[in-house]
Amino acid sequence: MKTGSLQPDSRPANTSAIVELTAHGQDTLSGVPLLARARTFAEPLLTGQRFDTGEDGLAHADGVSVILQGIGASPSLRAAAYLVYASEYLSQPEEVIGRAFGAELAGLVTHTRALVQVQRNARDAWADDVDGPWPAEQVERIRKMLLAFSRDLRVVLMRLASRLQTLRYFAHEGRACPRALARESMQVFAPLANRLGIWQIKWELEDLSFRFLMPDVYRQIARSLDEKRLEREQHIEHIRQTLSRALNDAGVGALVQGRPKHLYSIWKKMQGKGLSIDRVFDIRALRVIVADVPACYAALSRVHELWSPLPDEFSDYIARPKPNGYQSLHTVVRDEQGRSIEIQIRTQAMHEHAESGVAAHWAYKEAGAKGYAGVQASGDFEARVAEARKTVLRQLLAWERDLAASDADAPGDTSGLFDDRIYVFTPGGEIIDLPRDATPVDFAYTLHTSLGHRCRGAKVDGAMVPLNTPLKSGQTIEIVSLKEGGPSLDWLNPELGYLRSTRARSKVRAWFNALAQQATIARGREAVEKLLQREGRTSVKLEELATQLGFRSADALFDVVGKDEYSLRHIEQWLNPSPQELDPDTLIAQRLARSAEQTPGGAGKGVLVVGMDSLLTQLARCCKPAPPDAIGGYVTRGKGVAVHRQDCPNFRQMASRDPERIIPVTWGSQAAGEARYAVDLVVEGQDRSGLLRDVCDVLAQGKTHVHAMHSQTVRDKVHITLTVHTGDTTRLSQLLNKVSQISGVLRARRK
C-alpha cells in the first residue's frame, strides 16, 4: 500500500478462523460463502504488501475480521473489511467490487475509503512530536465527523477494529507506535467506541494507547499492582467460584462474572480522584446478576458474611438510582489476604439497562461534573448518539438483510441520524462544523467575518467552484479573497442559494445595515452643514451642537436628521432663540406682572401665591409642573417663589428641611388659557428604525410641540427623553396612552 493511503490501523491473526463457515450461511453469493469469496478475492492483492505502519496487508485484514467476529459482526461486514484494503490496489474499485459482490458492498467500501482519508487529514493537522492532549473542541469535532460522515455506522465499526488491530501490531512487535496515532486512538477512537457501547474495543484501545503514550507511568502502575495480570485473573477466578458456590448453597441463583481492572482505568481514577494505588478498591471486581431485587439484597448479605466489607465504600443505587437511571448495589470487601474486591450486584434487567445502552453507559462513565473524564453528556447530538447506539446493538452487528424478514419491530434506518451537519477542512487541516448543504460563503463567515465579506471565490479539493456550491463532508475548502471589499446583495437572495447558515446571513445583513446607516449619516450631515451655511454659523462645532440638542454624538444627530425623524427647525430655533427663551425667569416675571395689571386681584395670573398678590414666581426645572398638577411653593433666596409639583422629590426634601419656607400656591385663570408649559416625557422601548418618528407623529397629531429631545441606546433598548410644551397635563396623559400603544414602546410616562 502507498504511504499516506488507507492507514489501516496489527498482529498477524490465525487465518483458519476466518475461512471457516459461520452460522450465517445465508450470506452467500452464487452458493459460495461471502466471507470466503472476499478473502480469496483480496489475498493476491494484499499478499506481500506493507502498509505505512509496517503491517502486512493480508495479516491486518485477517486481524480486523477476527476483531469484528469477536463483537458479533456478520460475515458480510467482515467481508467488507477485506474488500476495503483490496480496493486500494484496483484502478476502478467501485466498478470491480460492484460486479463481483454487488452495489451495496461496493458503496460501503468506497465510503469507508473516503472516511479513512478524511480521518488521516484530521490527524495530520497535529505534529507527531507535540506533547499534551489535542484541543477538546477539535477532538469532539473529529468524533462527530466520524459519525456524521458515515452513511451508516458500519463504517465506523470497521475503523475502530482497524485501529485496534494496528495498536495490537505495534504491541506484539515491540515497536514504538507514532504518538499522533496513539493520541488519536486515546482521544477519538476509544471515547467513540465507548459512546457506541463497544466495550471490548474501548478498553483495549485505552490500555494500548496508554502504554505507548505514557510508557513509564504504565510500567509503574503495573509494578505497583505487585502481581502479574495472569495472577490477578487467577485470583479473580478463585473468588468468583467461591462466591458462586456460596450463593448456590444459600439458595440464591446467580451468574457471577469476574473482570480485572484495566491499567488505564486505574490511572484515570487515581488522577481524577487523587487516590493512591492502595485506595483504588476496584482493581479486582466481580459482577453478580440475580433474578430480582430481593435476591440482590440476599446476595449482598451473603457477600458480607464471606468477606469483611468496607462501610465507606457501599452504595445502594437500587434504592437511589443515578440520574441516568443506573441501578446496582456496589460494595467493596477484603478477602483473607486483605486484598480489596469490588462487587456489583444487580438484576438481569438492571444489567441490560446499564450494558445495552438504554441507560447510555458512556454518559455514566464520562459524566463531566460528577465523574472524572471531563466530558459532559448533554445536548441534541448526544441524544442522537444514544438513539444510534440502540440501533447499533440491533442492526449494525447483524446486517440489515438478517433483519429484513423480521416483523414490525425491526429497527429503523440510521442513515438520517446525522444528516443535518457536515464537516469540512481548512487547508491547514482544522475541521469546520457547518449546516448541511452549506456553501463556501458559509465556510468563509465561519472562519472570520472579515474573510466572509472579502470572499470572491473558492477551491474545493483544489478545484475552483461557484460560491453557491453545496459542500459535502470531508472536502477541503480554500477561500479566494480580496484585500478589501464587502458582500454581494445577491447573497441574501434565498433563491440563489449562497447562504445556508443563519450566522452568515446575519453577518451579511449587518454589513448592509451599517452601510445604509453610513449613507443616512452622510445625508444628515450634509443637511445640517447646509443649514449652518445659510445661517452663517459655520463656526459652530458639530459635536457641541449635538450635545446642546440632547444627542450623545454628532453622528446620532445626523442619523435622525437623515431619516427625517428630526426637523431642522429645532436646529434653527437653537441657533436663533427668541428673547423669551433667552431668559425664562424674566419672561415669567413679566407675564405675571402684565396679568396683575390687566386683572384686578391677580385673577389672570398663571400661578397665585395665596395671601401675597403679584409675588414673583418661577416654575421649577426639576419637575416642570403644569396645570392641573398639585403644586406647592418654596421661597428661594433672591429669586422669588419656586413652584414645584407636590410629588417632586426635591420639594419633599426641602419641605422636610425648611418647612417655614413652604407656602401654598395655586394655578390662576391664565393657567387654563393659552399659556404653555415645558414638560419632560420619557419613552422606553425596543430599538428599531422609525420608532422616534412614530412617537413624534403621535405627539404632533395631539398638537403637542416637541421642544427638545435626547435618546440613549443600550444594547437593543432605547431611552428617549422629550421636552414638550402643553397647557394641560390631563390631555398629555391621553397622548402618553397612545404612545404606549406604538409597536416597540415598552413604557411611556411623564418624567
Cα 593 to Cα 334: distance, rounded to the nearest angstrom: 106
Choose among 2, 86, 55, 61: nearest CA to 178: 55
Where residue 61 falls among pLDDT bands split at 50, 70, 90?
very high
In 174-316, the DSSP E strands lie at: 254-260, 284-290, 308-309, 315-316
Identity of the residue numbered 367: A
Choose among 190, 123, 125, 199: nearest CA to 163: 190
Given CA atoms 296, 297, 303, 308 in this order, what sign does their dihedral have?
positive
Residue 144, SS3 per DSSP: helix
Identity of the residue numbered 689: S
Per-residue b or e along 720-740, where b marks 16 or more CB atoms closer than 10 Å to that residue's CB: bebbbebbebeebeebbeebe
Cα 92 to Cα 89: distance, rounded to the nearest angstrom: 9
Give the tens place of pLDDT for each residue, 632-656: 888 887 677 888 888 888 888 888 8
Q: Is the pLDDT of residue 431 over 80?
A: no
pLDDT computed for residue 354 by the predictor? 58
Q: Is the pLDDT of residue 178 over 50?
A: yes
Give the tens place of pLDDT for each residue, 65-76: 998 887 767 788
Give the tens place of pLDDT for each residue, 6-59: 444 433 333 233 223 223 333 444 445 888 899 999 999 998 899 888 899 999
Cα 362 to Cα 356: distance, rounded to the nearest angstrom: 11
Cell of 589: 416675571
Give the lowest-confidence range in 124-128, 203-207, 671-675.
124-128
Output DSSP code: residue 492.
Answer: G
Give the tens place of pLDDT for each residue, 681-706: 888 988 888 888 888 888 888 878 78
Give the lowest-confidence range in 306-315, 335-344, 352-361.
352-361
pLDDT computed for residue 114 by the predictor? 74
Q: Is the pLDDT of residue 359 over 60?
A: no
Cα 420 to Cα 593: distance, rounded to the nearest angstrom: 80
Average pLDDT for 197-206: 80
Q: Is the pLDDT of residue 188 over 60?
A: yes
Cα separation values, 450 from 16, 481, 512, 547, 576, Å: 61, 10, 14, 34, 47
Average pLDDT for 498-515: 90
7, 52 in Cβ contact below 8 A?
yes
Give the lowest-confidence range in 162-171, 297-306, 426-435, 563-572.
426-435
Average pLDDT for 514-536: 88
Where residue 331 falls among pLDDT bands split at 50, 70, 90?
very high
Which carries the bigger pLDDT value, residue 526 or residue 105?
526
Give whichever of 411-415, 451-455, 725-729 has the largest mean pLDDT.
451-455
Task: Scan for cell 450463593, then name that residue.
Answer: 247
Cell of 157: 465499526
Average pLDDT for 109-124: 71
Per-residue b or e along 238-260, where b marks 16 or more CB atoms closer than 10 Å to that residue's CB: ebbeebbebbeeeebebebebeb
pLDDT computed for residue 591 by the predictor? 45
Give the tens place of pLDDT for each residue, 388-399: 444 444 444 433
Give whichever of 30-44, 236-250, 412-426, 666-680 has the largest mean pLDDT.
236-250
pLDDT computed for residue 60 by the predictor? 93
Where residue 429 falls among pLDDT bands split at 50, 70, 90?
low
Average pLDDT for 500-523: 90
Q: Is the pLDDT of residue 210 over 80?
A: yes
Q: Is the pLDDT of residue 465 over 50?
A: yes
Give the lowest-confidence range in 86-90, 406-410, 503-507.
406-410
pLDDT computed for residue 124 by the predictor? 59
Give the tens place of pLDDT for each residue, 483-494: 888 898 899 888
pLDDT computed for residue 21 by the predictor? 28
Residue 634, SS3 per DSSP: strand
pLDDT computed for residue 592 by the predictor? 43
| Percentage of the chain lying above the pLDDT 90 cut | 17
In Å, how far from its chain's centre is CA 190? 23
pLDDT computed for residue 300 by the predictor? 94
Going along the chain from its start, the domains and CATH numbers come out as 16-213 (1.10.3210.10), 224-357 (3.30.460.10), 421-487 (3.10.20.30), 510-576 (no CATH), 581-672 (no CATH), 677-750 (3.30.70.260)
Q: In what order do the strands lie in the sheet with 477-481?
A: 463-465, 455-460, 477-481
Average pLDDT for 647-671: 82
**Cβ neighbours, 10 Å, residue 458:** 22
Q: What is the DSSP string of 696-707?
A: HHHHHHTT-EEE
Where residue 451 falls among pLDDT bands split at 50, 70, 90?
very high
pLDDT computed for residue 321 by the predictor? 83
